[in-house]
Structure 1
Amino acid sequence: MGSRNYLIEGVSGAGKTTVCNELQRRGYHAIHGDRELAYQGDPETGTPTDGFKPEHHIWHVEKVKAWVANQDEAVTFFCGGSRNFSKFIDLFDNVYVLEVDLETCLRRIDERVALDPTDWGGRPEERELIRRLHQTKEGVPQNGILIDATAPIAHVVDEILHQIEANERRCQ
């Protein structure tokens, strides 16, 4: 939905939702991928599946393509994790991967689960999977621009915007 489109990715607890909220607060067009694009489906075919499996947390590819094609906004940020990002990652001008250490990741998930005990990461098997995914970076784009997301949120967003501006200057 923008002339320029950026993907904000990272492991669970990295801060994708918080970054999206801050971008919106600053007046940017930012899409909460986990709320507006996600569903449970086969990552290869897109066919919806029953029940919840983290590896089936995917985005509607056609919706992503349609929003990217719409030029109504100067910039759009797509924030969230998706196991089928390979189906649409090449549509983005850049990909930013939020990085946090495991301790920060788990602390943030604990804070989230304290507010909603049903949220992702509250069950022991979910926590173990989060640890594994944090270690392996499985399911996260490997060629994105790394952003230290342990800093205060304002600094994290400032760094993303700085990276975008620097890239634009290089392309001129």
Structure 2
Amino acid sequence: MGIRNYLIGGVSGSGKTTVCNELQRRGYHAIHGDRELVYQGDPETGTPTDGFKPEHHIWHVDKVKALVANQDEAVTFFCGGSRNFHKYIDLFDGVFVLDVDLETSLWRIDERVALDPTDWGGRPEEREISKRMYQTKEGVPKNGIIIDATAPIDHVVDEIIRQSEENKHQRQ
């Protein structure tokens, strides 16, 4: 939905939801991809699947394309992760990868599970999957701009906005 569109990704517990909330609070158009675009499906074909598997956590490619094509906003930030990002990553003007250490990632997962025991990471097998995904960086774009997401949220979002503005001026 933006003239410029950015993807904000990272491992579980890196702060994607918090960044999205802060961008929205500041008046930016930001989409919670893990809420608004996600479903369980085959990452190659998009065919819906039954049950939950982290490798089937994908976004509706047609919805991403439609949102990117709509240029009602000056800039839109798509926040979240999916296993089929390779199907739409070229649509974005830039990609930001929120980077945290494993301890911070697990601490943040514990914090959100304390608020909602059904949230991702609450079950031992989910915690193990989160650790594995942290180590392998499965589902995280490789060539994004790395943002230190261990910093306070204001600093993290300030840096994303600064980098997106720099990108805007470089493209003109």
TM-score (norm 1): 0.98
1:91 aligns with 2:91: yes
Number of matched pairs = 172
Superposition CA RMSD, Å: 0.8
Amino acid in the other structure paired with 2:59: W
Amino acid in the other structure paired with 1:41: G
Report the equivalent of 2:29.
29
Report the equivalent of 1:6.
6
SS at match of 1:141: coil
SS at match of 1:64: helix
- How far 1:169 moved relative to its partner? 3.0
Identity, % of aligned pairs? 83
- How far 1:128 moved relative to its partner? 0.8
- How far 1:85 moved relative to its partner? 0.2
Report the equivalent of 1:113.
113
SS at match of 1:71: coil
Shifted more, 132-141 versus 11-20: the winner is 132-141
SS at match of 2:83: coil
Amino acid in the other structure paired with 1:67: L
- How far 1:138 moved relative to its partner? 1.3
Report the equivalent of 1:171.
171
C-alpha separation in 1, matches of 2:92 and 2:81: 14
C-alpha separation in 2, matches of 1:143 and 1:83: 15
Gaps of 5+ in 1: none
- How far 1:75 moved relative to its partner? 0.5
Report the equivalent of 1:153.
153
C-alpha separation in 1, matches of 2:2 and 2:9: 18
SS at match of 1:76: strand
SS at match of 1:48: coil
TM-score (norm 2): 0.98
